[in-house]
Amino acid sequence: MRRLVSSPDAVGNFTFPFWREMTIRFRRRNSAVILPWLVIGFNIVWIIWEVQSQNWTMEAILQAFSRLIVVLLFAEIIVTTWKVNSEH
């Protein structure tokens, strides 16, 4: 069975191998840099809007935590992009 998280790479961080490969492949495209920031910003605004509009109910807070997983995934993509760009 293939592991999702690889061993530490040359930079010393743990990351998903396919993100690293895609970052190397699309390193020069602006969308690879801008898109993760837009997704993170949109999700944070959406989280705040939903939680506040539902008066901080438990259901709204649980939905906010599930959206935070998306934010964390895109933060990993940003960090991987920074590491790959600093290597090259």
User: Six-digit token pair at 75?
Assistant: 């933060």
Where in the chain are the domains?
30-87
30, HSE (Cβ side, Cα atoms, 13 Å): 0
pLDDT at 1: 40
Q: Tell me the one-letter amino acid at 65.
A: F
Q: Tell me the one-letter amino acid at 40.
A: I
Q: Which long-range contacts (CB under 8 A, 24 or more apart) does 4-8 make?
A: none
User: Six-digit token pair at 12?
Assistant: 């010393």
Question: pTM of the prediction?
Answer: 0.62
What string of pLDDT tens digits covers the 88 residues of the chain? 444 444 444 444 555 676 667 666 665 555 667 888 889 999 999 999 999 999 989 999 999 999 999 999 889 888 887 877 777 6
